[in-house]
């Protein structure tokens, strides 16, 4: 496994999936590796924030099943903003069932995730087959979860190695979540990001500074939620995370 830090330009050559390539292109163009996790329960609040900080992010991550007033007009608004401001829509659904159920949850139900998401997250706990035959269009990429950011996570080295292998072998996978360096053919996404040292452990999740994510773990994209949406000035704070993430990337070689 080759783990030496490579640039976004070099990584773009190694990632064959069009959505992986597109995400890198957006990152380079907007000079941002920041994905905003909008874990809010009202669509209006999400749209307000996205209008405010859409210029600073390369991705918007949702948990669509927490939105109390979910509607397709909300999705249409989001889609429009995402095209205008150039960022991708991530649905952090963490599919974790057998393949046939994953398929149904992805394409059906109220949220019809496959009709609007650019990127979706999946666990591979049920094995490699559970994320094959999902019948996803070529313009949706998968992110596997190899190792979560939480304290007490159950994944051991053996599980993580197998999860990474499954990720490498599935052509729909653009990258993974892990708390360590991974093969350069995968994009590495890092949640659990915060500037403050005092929030290292918050309600069972662990947090690191963007510098640690890029320099120690060779992360490619940081995912930031409450540090931004709970702040007094999301616009300024988002810009601070964008800048910190970009500088950390540049300093990580
Ligand atoms: P936070 O507010 O910055 O803590 O939000 C982190 C988001 O990332 C939240 O939506 C989690 O569900 C998500 N997350 C995580 O925290 N850790 C993980 O390992 C994975 C996802 Br995978």
Closest among 99, 106, 36, 119 to 65, alpha carbons compared: 106
pTM confidence score: 0.98
188 touches ligand 1 (CB under 6 Å): no
Report the pLDDT value the prediction gives residue 2, as an integer from 0 to 100.
59
Q: Is 91 in the pocket of ligand 1 (CB under 6 A)?
A: no
Catalytic choice (31, 97, 112, 235): 97
- Rounded to 5 degrees, what are φ and ψ at 65? -80, 0
* Mean pLDDT to the nearest integer, 129-152: 97
Quick one: angle between helices 43-53 and 72-85, nearest 10? 10
Q: Residue 54: which of 193, 235, 240 has the closest Cα?
A: 235
Identify the H or E element spanning 206: strand 205-206
Mean pLDDT in the chain? 97
40: tokens are: 């809010």
- Give percent of the chain with pLDDT exceeding 70: 99
Paired tokens of 117: 């998401």
Which pLDDT score, from 0 to 100, does residue 1 have? 54
Decide if pLDDT at 17 tops 90.
yes
Instruction: Determine whether 97 is an active site residue.
Output: yes
Mean pLDDT along residues 15-33: 98
Question: Would you list the DSSP string of 220-241?
Answer: SEEEE-HHHHTSS-HHHHHHHH
Q: Please give the ipTM for the structure prediction.
A: 0.99
pLDDT in tens, 101-134: 999 999 999 999 999 999 999 999 999 999 999 9
Q: How far apart are CA 57 and CA 34, in angstroms?
A: 5
Asked whether residue 4 carries a pLDDT value surpassing 70, the answer given is: yes
Token pair of 176, please?
């993974």
Give the Å distance between the CA of 37 and the centre of ligand 1: 8
Residue 189: per-residue pLDDT:
98
Q: How far apart are CA 136 and CA 153, in angstroms?
A: 29
d(CA 37, CA 227): 10
Cβ of 240 closer than 6 Å to ligand 1, yes or no, is no
Q: Tell whether the model's pLDDT for residue 31 goes beyond 90.
A: yes
The pair phi, psi for residue 153, each rounded to 5°, is: -55, 150
């Amino acid at each position: 496994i080759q783990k030496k830090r490579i640039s976004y330009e070099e990584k773009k050559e190694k990632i064959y999936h069009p959505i992986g390539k597109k995400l890198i292109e957006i990152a380079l163009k907007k000079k941002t590796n920041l994905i905003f996790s909008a874990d809010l329960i009202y669509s209006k609040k999400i749209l307000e924030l996205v209008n405010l900080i859409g210029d600073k992010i390369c991705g918007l991550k949702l948990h669509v099943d927490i939105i109390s007033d979910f509607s397709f007009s909300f999705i249409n608004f989001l889609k429009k903003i995402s095209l205008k401001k150039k960022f991708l829509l991530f649905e952090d659904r963490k599919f974790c069932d057998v393949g046939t159920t994953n398929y149904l949850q992805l394409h059906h139900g109220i949220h019809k995730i496959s009709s609007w998401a650019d990127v979706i997250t999946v666990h591979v706990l049920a094995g490699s087959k559970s994320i094959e035959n999902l019948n996803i269009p070529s313009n949706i990429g998968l992110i596997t979860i190899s190792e979560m950011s939480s304290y007490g996570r159950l994944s051991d080295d053996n599980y993580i190695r197998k999860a990474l292998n499954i990720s490498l072998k599935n052509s729909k996978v653009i990258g993974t979540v892990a708390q360590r360096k991974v093969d350069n053919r995968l994009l590495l996404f890092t949640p659990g990001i915060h500037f403050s040292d005092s929030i290292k452990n918050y309600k069972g999740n662990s947090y690191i500074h963007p510098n640690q994510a890029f320099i120690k773990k060779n992360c490619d994209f940081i995912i930031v939620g409450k540090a931004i949406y709970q702040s007094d000035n999301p616009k300024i704070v988002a810009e601070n995370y964008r800048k910190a993430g970009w500088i950390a990337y540049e300093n990580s070689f």
